[in-house]
Amino acid sequence: MTPLELLALICVFAVVRVAISLRPIPVDAGSGPSARTVIREYLDAFIVAGLVALFLITFVVRTFFIPSASMVPTLQIHDVLLVNEFEYRFAKPHHSDIVVFPPPIPSPNDFIKRLIAVPGDKLRIHNGAVYINDQPLTEPYIEQKPNYELEVKDYGIFVDGQRMDPELGNVPPKAQWTAPDRLPPNCYFMMGDNRNNSEDSHIWGFAQDTGTYASGPLKGQKASFTGHAFLVFWPLDRIRILR
Residue positions annotated with a catalytic role: 70, 113
CB atoms within 10 A of CB 98: 23
- 215, 166 in Cβ contact below 8 A? yes
The C-alpha angle with vertex 19 and arms to 18 and 23, in degrees rounded to 5, equals 90
CA distances in angstroms from 223 to 21, 34, 98, 205, 218, listed in the order given: 46, 57, 17, 13, 9
> Which backbone phi and psi does 31 adopt, to 5 degrees?
-100, -5
d(CA 110, CA 40): 42
Q: Among residues 229, 227, 230, which one has the least CA distance to residue 91?
A: 227
- 115, 94 in Cβ contact below 8 A? yes
Element (H, E) at 64: strand 61-65
Sheet with 135-136, edge to edge strand ranges = 135-136, 129-132, 123-126, 150-153, 156-159, 162-163
The C-alpha angle with vertex 38 and arms to 35 and 43, in degrees rounded to 5, equals 120
